[in-house]
Amino acid sequence: MSENDNRDGPSPDIRAPRGDGGAAGPDPRRWLALTVLLTAGFMDLLDVTIVNVTIPTIMRDLDAEYAQVEWVIAAYVLGFAALLVTGGRLGDSYGRRRLFLVGVAGFTLASALCGLATGPEMLIGSRFLQGAMSGLMVPQILAIIHVAFSSEERGKALGIWGGTLGSASATGLVAGALLLDWNPGGLEWRSIFLVNIPIGVLSLVAGWYLVPESTSPAPPKLDLVGVLLSIAAILMLVYPLTEGRSLGWPPWSFGLMGGSVVLLAVFVLYERWRTRTKGSPVMELGLFRVGAFSVGLVVWLVFWIALGGFFLVWTLYMQVGLAWTPTRAGLTALAFAVGGASGSGLSVQVFTPRFGRRVLMAGALLNALGFGAYAIIAQERGIGIESWQMVGPLLAAGFGFGLVVAPMIDGILTGVPRGDAGSASGVLSTAQQVGMALGVALVGILFFGRLDHDSARGVEDVTPALRAELAATGMPAQAQQGVLDGFRTCVRERSAATDPTAIPASCRPPEAAANPQMRELLTRYGEQANGHNFSRTFSYTLWYGSGMLVVVFLGVFALPRQVKTWELDDALAPAAPAPSESSASRR
């Protein structure tokens, strides 16, 4: 076979990594190729959070319930998780550039479908496709960096990629807010998806000409059955957690959650069988014999459960509870973004090499303290809180987040054998996405359950002022009590609604509709009561997140004292050795 037979286009075909004797000198276009990779990767990661700030607008425009909007977020990360490990193996076998371009093309198409969605169901399906295409694309980025850069340049390239990772999530909130406020072409929320089309097309064309092709000399086999079993088990858990509240927790929801445990056991048994017979399981079970990895995986999952739902309820708190504009809410998020980027950079380059796991412990505690301080301020200031009062807690929480998220994977992988690093890093990346999906579902249950529970307190907060204004209109005491009873019912039903932006029928009493002054009065105090409820409930939810981060702090004690900085060669090692060379056989 000639050299040209191994190529999809004009880019060079690299069959072996640099320094392995199978390739010539560095590609002169490698830095331009890195720009293409970073642009596409940033677009993928941005879309994890960019939708959060547009939630109220999407709910209104598509007449969607809150559970459906949860799925708009969860579907993306579940699709991402579903193809993350599989995408890496497909790239090893069929060409990393080829899979990268397929991912870019699919992501661009899915973005167009999201922007053209006519209902929540179409949007959810398109978001799953978006996430799946990201799962194909992102694993290729690290692999292509590995083959395109020499060991001397690789650290710099990875540092740039790490900075991209650190800024994408929080930047998504700001970008979504600015696009919604700018409203190009009157597209409103659809613009956050349609803006990906020109970026995707440019990345596709540039990637075709600039990104080098490469494959693995010994690509692992694809464990399709294991992938399907793991996806099914995850969906059987996440689906009832997301839908249960809106459906009144029917018996089948608990049956599905129980079934997910059974299916997980089947998955483990199948992976054991595959390890003994065919090799290349989707999950190398021998990893769990490494105590630090087993505990670290749980800690990593808890960390992302704690953070996964934060951006969602934070956005609802600012836009629905405080009635802030999307732009104000998005710009407030900059404090967290700045803290996160600063923490990530200092953690990897300065702190972790010197202080090891103590950096992770400090980061988890600082994140927890930031959430705790935010909880206190949110409850004390109520609906009168200002953006500047959030800056300190958000900087602290973001800086702590950055200290943890950058070196945590290195800490968990420190005790893992070199040959298993690829499989272990894939498991951790998948756990991150699953944790985010679970975080959205669990925080949704906690937040709206508490919002319903505390509705009477919101009424109590505004009743004295409302009664005084009713009396000032000359309304008789008996009539005042009737209005207050109706007002109390309105606030309670709004807090209990599955859609936090919906206005129940009880909030439109006939007497208010006939009197514009009364309608304005009840609307104003209803928004204030709703704001008090959201502030109190958001504060409660932050304490939940803070508590989970304390669990993360305690779990870090199980990790090695010194954190090993893994080379990319380790992370790109074969996902699992042949059966005769498996971890189980070696130990």
Quick check: pTM over 0.85?
no
What does the pLDDT average to over 253-259?
A: 92
Q: What is the pLDDT of residues 75-102, one digit of tens each?
A: 998 888 888 878 877 888 888 899 999 9
pLDDT-derived band at 199, boundaries 50, 70, 90: very high
Helix (H, G, I), strand (E, B) or coil at 304: helix
Alpha carbons within 13 angstroms on the beta-carbon side of residue 505 total 0
**pLDDT for residue 573:** 40
Q: Which are the contacts of 552, defined by CB distance < 8 A and separation ≥ 6?
A: 299, 302, 303, 306, 364, 404
Q: What is the pLDDT of residues 133-179, one digit of tens each?
A: 998 898 888 788 878 888 778 767 776 776 676 667 667 878 888 88
**pLDDT for residue 524:** 84
Alpha carbons within 13 angstroms on the beta-carbon side of residue 224 total 1
Q: Which residue has the higher pLDDT, 328 or 8?
A: 328
Between helix 387-405 and helix 357-381 the angle, nearest 10°, is: 160
Q: What is the pLDDT of residues 372-408, one digit of tens each?
A: 999 999 999 988 999 999 999 999 999 999 899 878 8
Q: Which residue has the higher pLDDT, 218 or 327?
A: 327
Longest CA–CA separation in the chain, Å: 95
Q: Which residue has the higher pLDDT, 255 or 164?
A: 255
End-to-end CA distance of the chain: 40
Q: What is the pLDDT of residues 527-564, one digit of tens each?
A: 888 888 889 999 999 999 999 999 999 999 888 877 66
Cβ–Cβ < 8 Å for 538, 531? no
Report which residue type is found at 176.
G
The yes-or-no verdict on residue 316 having pLDDT over 80 is yes
Average pLDDT, the chain: 81
pLDDT-derived band at 223, boundaries 50, 70, 90: confident
b/e per residue, 466-489, with b = 16+ CB within 10 A?
bbebbeeeebeeeebeebeebbbb
**pLDDT for residue 10:** 39
Query: Strand pairing of 13-14 and 213-214?
Result: parallel
Lowest mean pLDDT among 217-231, 307-321, 445-459, 489-503: 489-503
**pLDDT for residue 3:** 39
What does the pLDDT average to over 520-530?
A: 81
Q: Residue 503 and residue 499: Cα distance in Å, rounded?
A: 9
What does the pLDDT average to over 114-142?
A: 92
Q: What is the pLDDT of residues 438-450, one digit of tens each?
A: 888 888 888 888 8
In degrees, to the nearest 5, what angle opens at C-alpha 482 toward C-alphas 477 and 485? 125
Q: Residue 359 and residue 422: Cα distance in Å, rounded?
A: 24
Question: If you count DSSP H runs as helices and E runs as strands, how many of each does the chain have, helices first?
Answer: 25, 2
Residue 202 phi/psi, 5° resolution? Answer: -65, -40
